[in-house]
Amino acid sequence: MNFRILRKARVLRDLKTRETVAAAELIRQAYRYITRNEQINQKVRQQAQLMLNSFPRRARPTSIKNRCVETGRGRAVFRDSRLCRYQFRLKALAGEIPGVKKAIW
């Protein structure tokens, strides 16, 4: 199996999931507001809950996983740089990340 293609596919899937979540976020927040507002009719609230449950799996914010943009690795990813620890180290030592340098005692 070619791991380079697999890594690229994981990164592309992550980007597509993030775009889907961002596109559906406004509608999702409206449905959540309706379902939690107790002043609205119970039938309307249940209908909004059904609509909320029928959202695609990738449109839910919990489906987003932090992945390294360089390698596609799903573990040990720094949120600020979106790089895994190894790529962060390589880029920091090469001076490609501004404000980061190796500590010297």
Written as tens digits, the pLDDT of the chain (105 aa) is: 455 666 678 888 888 898 999 999 999 999 999 999 989 899 999 999 999 988 888 888 888 888 888 888 889 999 888 899 999 999 999 989 898 888 887
Where in the chain are the domains? 3-65, 70-105
Q: Structure pTM?
A: 0.69
Q: Which single residue is written with the structure tokens 């720094």?
A: 78
CB 56 within 8 A of CB 23: no
Helix axes 3-36, 42-53, angle to 10 degrees: 180
pLDDT of residue 34: 92
Left (φ > 0), alpha (ψ -120 to 50) or beta: where does 32 sit?
Answer: alpha
CATH topology of domain 3-65: Helix Hairpins (1.10.287)
